[in-house]
Homo-oligomer: A and B are copies of this chain.
Amino acid sequence: MKLGRLNHIGVATPSIAESIRYYREVMGATKFHEPFDLEAQGVKVCFVDTPDAAGELGKGTQIELIEPLGEDSPIAKFLEKNPAGAQHHVCYEVEDIEDARKWFEEMGKRILGPTRIGAHGTPIFFLHPKDMMGQLTEIMETPKGDAHWSN
């Protein structure tokens, strides 16, 4: 498997509305995608664009803001420990999700649940942080075309 682009960093937040204010007013971000519920994962999501090396928005690594949807959300406990929010996961792209899944399975890495459709509409899975040097790691198939920027 070849390491792909760092698609996004996942940042847990108690409030996407507050985070949007923070990234706009404190960090100077200008491009916010429409927030939406990702019910299968129990989170509300909002992508924020950062520029790439050429200064272009929409191609740089994104910030994925994630807010719990209800008390049973998988990030509810994480936010109890980190009430102001915190870095939550990293997401790298791969060419082919099934090849990547086999790759990690053969190494004995714990995959958290089935491959499913992620926030960018392409298949993803998560790997256990204890098997990934302490980082909750999302693996995402590189979107074909521009579909991934529609949110």
| Interface residue ranges, A against B (CB under 8 Å) | 1-6, 9, 11-13, 18-19, 22-23, 26-30, 50-53, 55, 59-61, 63, 82, 84-87, 90, 92, 104, 107, 109, 129-130, 132-135
Contacts and interface: CB of A to CB of B under 8 A. Distances in A.
- State the oligomeric state as a number of copies: 2
Contacts of A26: 104, 107, 109, 132
A134 B12 CA distance: 9
Main secondary structure of the interface of A (DSSP, over half): loop
28 contacts: A1-B28, A2-B28, A2-B30, A3-B29, A3-B30, A5-B50, A5-B51, A6-B6, A6-B50, A9-B87, A11-B135, A12-B134, A13-B133, A19-B133, A22-B132, A22-B133, A26-B107, A26-B109, A27-B92, A52-B59, A60-B61, A61-B61, A84-B129, A84-B130, A85-B133, A85-B134, A87-B87, A87-B135
Question: Closest 6 CB pairs between A and B?
Answer: A85-B134, A86-B134, A84-B134, A53-B59, A1-B28, A3-B28
Nearest to A4: B51
A52 B59 CA distance: 8
Nearest to A63: B6
- Identify which of A50, A55, A133 gathers the most chain B CB atoms within 10 Å of its CB: A133
